[in-house]
Amino acid sequence: DRYVMQDMGYDMDMIEAMVKELTPEQSAALEDIDFTGRLDITDEDMAAEIRKVPGLTDAQVQLLVEMEMSLLRNEKLKNITKMG
């Protein structure tokens, strides 16, 4: 959701520009990668999985890792607050 991502400090114009550069094959491959619930994954492991998508630039990989890690941290925070 655009507003959630903006609230998390992301430049949505930059993200949308990056998404528009993806080929349909890249988009489909990225959609098949699911980090939901993988709260212990490292930046490096996540980047390695994302790099398996052919043709992504280092900048795209980095942006995707930052977004996914931010979402996971948010998920982890929600889980902690539910427990408390």
What pLDDT does residue 75 have? 73
14-70 tens-digit pLDDT: 888 888 999 999 999 999 999 988 989 999 999 999 999 999 999 999 999 988 898
Q: Count other Cβ atoms within 10 Å, centred on residue 78.
A: 10
DSSP element (H, E) containing 58: helix 58-83
Give residue 22's Cα distance to chain centre.
14
User: Residue 84: is its pLDDT beyond 60?
Assistant: no
| pTM for the full predicted model | 0.78
